[in-house]
Amino acid sequence: MFEDLRGFIDYLQDQDEVIRVNAEISPRYEIAAAIKLIAEQNGSVALFNKISGHQGRVVGNLLGAKKRLAMAMGVNEGALSETYLHRRVNPISPSLVESGPVKENILSQNLDILKMIPVLTHHEKDADPYFTTGIIIAKDPETGIRGMGIHRVQVKGPRKVGIFLNSPPLATFLEKSEKQGKPLEIAILLGVDPVCFFSSVIWAPEGIDKLGIAGGLSGSSVSLVRCESIDLEVPARAEFVLEGKVLPNKREPEGPFGESSGYYFTFNNPVAEIQLIMHRNNPVYHALMPFAGEEDVLIDFSWQMENKNLLLSTVPGLKDISLKNMGLITVAQIDKREESDGIRIIEQLFACGVPNKLIITVDEDVDIYNDKDLWWAIATRFQPDQDMIVKSDIPGLGIDPSTRQKESTASGANVLITLTSKVGMDATKPLNNLDKFEKINITPEIRKRVEAILNQTGQRL
């Protein structure tokens, strides 16, 4: 659909999805604040054309609306879920090409990341500028299988970065490298096409190439070029690629950094040295402002899609499911046949592997994608002393500050262990009193007729 980031930006501008900021603006706090304000006010893409101290442009809130992910995949928003599920199981392997635009500039001498790239400082108490859209690619040192994912990257010096590397497959690759006493070669991608960017956050079992997933979702093979100084391949039309190595058995404090949870987070994390940077002419730097809404599309939607079919086929009575706030809140729409169904389905979802902390079950007359409907169901169909269960000592999400956390070195590396409690709320109607809980409504026939009348008068709904 779109070969690169800049092509997608051009398309979005034609669709009036972009707010252009032409005044000079600083990558230190100012651009991040502007992205957040624009996202809160109207949800548009933010494009900054004049960056203090830098050439090129910065774009933010790219996938801050689900309709823009649909645009990236070439479908209407209403068909996004169905299209995703169909294409997800039909990957298209990437193809290797001789060269590409990312190699227009290849630099290995006198590197200084912050002088070459407009890396943003996002929040008041962030330790340093951070890459928030950095897709890291590495290979399993034993099998050569490629893995990739978005990991936050702190720019600590001209060539030095700290990486929050606490999840597989890359954390597993690093552990294997360290056991061999070798550094782990990595490439940090900045500014790839929108489907490739989205695919990098999709959960996939070990051995599944996310670049193949990206090809399947977009309908065409991702073109790759070989790196210059390491044994990796990267998208040929990326805006920036940083080649480097994660140093074995070296940990330093990384952070604090304002995370998607809305809180600052610090941990002892691996350190990498960058040895070469490639970039396009007039590059576009892609930024993501944490805790500003874009994670709802990137994380919640992808997790929901990856788990939905499996859950619907294995949990009797489950009709639909919606994940919110990085999967910490799960709302389940159910077909209630027995009085115990609400709690039973909560119990089954507790064990499904999604890092949910709060699970709410509701009836089929509740729109689980409408917060007003959800709160109405909780307010009028839920009694805490009868309809709530609590589970303790279950693995939680590392960036949730309310979890009980400790470092473990059992595997030879620093690993963050988190435990949490979980709450289930059954906000379904009691089967012995359905008339009392009937939801008021307008008949479908009247709604359809009135919508037609309003559309004729230009008041499109």
Q: How far apart are CA 173 and CA 90, in angstroms?
A: 26
> Looking at the structure, do residues 247 and 384 belong to the same domain, yes or no?
no
CA within 13 Å, CB half, 240: 27
Q: What pLDDT score does 284 carry? A: 98
Q: How far apart are CA 428 and CA 333, in angstroms?
A: 9
Domain-embedded: residue 306: no
Tell me the per-residue pLDDT of 77-98, one tens digit each, with 9 for 90 and over: 999 999 999 999 999 999 999 9
Q: What pLDDT score does 306 carry? A: 83
Domain-embedded: residue 297: no
Whole-number average pLDDT of the chain: 92
Domain-embedded: residue 449: no
Q: How confident is the model over 99-126, as a mean pLDDT?
A: 97
Q: What pLDDT score does 403 carry? A: 82
Domain-embedded: residue 309: no
Domains in the chain: how many in total?
2
What CATH number is given to the structural domain containing 273?
A: 2.30.110.10
Judge contact between 78 and 51, C-beta under 8 A.
no
Domain-embedded: residue 444: no
Residues in the chain: 461
Q: pLDDT category, 352, cuts 50, 70, 90?
A: confident
**With 70 as the cut, is the pLDDT of residue 45 above it?**
yes
Comparing CA positions, the residue from 122, 100, 111 lying closest to residue 39 is 122
% pLDDT > 90, the chain: 77
Q: How confident is the model over 262-274, as a mean pLDDT?
A: 94
Domain-embedded: residue 456: no
Judge contact between 210 and 199, C-beta under 8 A.
yes
Residues ≥6 apart with Cβ < 8 Å to 59 = 5, 9, 45, 46, 47, 48, 284, 285, 286, 287
pTM exceeding 0.75: yes
> Looking at the structure, do residues 261 and 387 belong to the same domain, yes or no?
no
Q: How far apart are CA 136 and CA 170, in angstroms?
A: 8
Encoded amino acid at 162, one letter? G
Q: pLDDT category, 458, cuts 50, 70, 90?
A: low
Q: What pLDDT score does 413 carry? A: 57
Q: What pLDDT score does 223 carry? A: 98
Comparing CA positions, the residue from 65, 9, 16, 3 lying closest to residue 40 is 65
Phi, psi of 224 (to 5 degrees): -120, 150
Least confident span in 105-109, 195-199, 233-237, 402-406: 402-406
> Looking at the structure, do residues 356 and 417 belong to the same domain, yes or no?
yes
> Looking at the structure, do residues 224 and 324 belong to the same domain, yes or no?
no
Q: How confident is the model over 57-68, as a mean pLDDT?
A: 96
Q: What pLDDT score does 96 carry? A: 98
Q: What is the DSSP letter of 64?
A: S
Phi, psi of 5 (to 5 degrees): -65, -45
> Looking at the structure, do residues 163 and 36 belong to the same domain, yes or no?
yes
User: CA torsion 168→172→174→177, rounded to 10°?
Assistant: -160
Specify the DSSP element, H or E, that contains 216: helix 210-218
**With 80 as the cut, is the pLDDT of residue 217 above it?**
yes
CB neighbour class for 76 (10 Å; exposed up to 12, middle 13-18, buried from 19): exposed
Q: What is the DSSP letter of 185?
A: E
> Looking at the structure, do residues 254 and 181 belong to the same domain, yes or no?
yes
> Looking at the structure, do residues 253 and 213 belong to the same domain, yes or no?
yes
Domain-embedded: residue 351: yes
Beta pairing, strands 264-279 & 284-287: unpaired
Q: What pLDDT score does 301 carry? A: 86
Partners of residue 189 on adjacent β-strands:
135, 241
Tell me the per-residue pLDDT of 393-448, one tens digit each, with 9 for 90 and over: 887 777 778 888 777 665 555 667 788 889 999 999 999 999 999 998 889 999 89
Q: pLDDT category, 60, cuts 50, 70, 90?
A: very high
Q: How confident is the model over 241-266, as a mean pLDDT?
A: 94
Q: pLDDT category, 460, cuts 50, 70, 90?
A: low
Residue 235: give the domain boundaries. 5-287
Least confident span in 22-26, 267-271, 359-363, 403-407: 403-407
Strands (E), 12-150: 18-21, 45-48, 57-60, 95-96, 105-107, 130-131, 135-139, 146-150
> Looking at the structure, do residues 279 and 346 belong to the same domain, yes or no?
no
> Looking at the structure, do residues 175 and 53 belong to the same domain, yes or no?
yes
Partners of residue 150 on adjacent β-strands:
135
Q: What pLDDT score does 415 carry? A: 66
Q: What pLDDT score does 275 carry? A: 98
Q: What pLDDT score does 414 carry? A: 60
Residues ≥6 apart with Cβ < 8 Å to 339 = 430, 431, 432
What CATH number is given to the structural domain containing 339?
A: 3.40.1670.10
Residues ≥6 apart with Cβ < 8 Å to 41 = none
> Looking at the structure, do residues 75 and 153 belong to the same domain, yes or no?
yes
> Looking at the structure, do residues 324 and 282 belong to the same domain, yes or no?
no
Residue 95 CA: distances (Å) to CA of 189, 215, 220: 17, 10, 10
Q: What pLDDT score does 410 carry? A: 57
Domain-embedded: residue 205: yes
Domain final residue, candidates 238, 271, 287: 287
Q: What is the DSSP letter of 85?
A: H
> Looking at the structure, do residues 95 and 200 belong to the same domain, yes or no?
yes
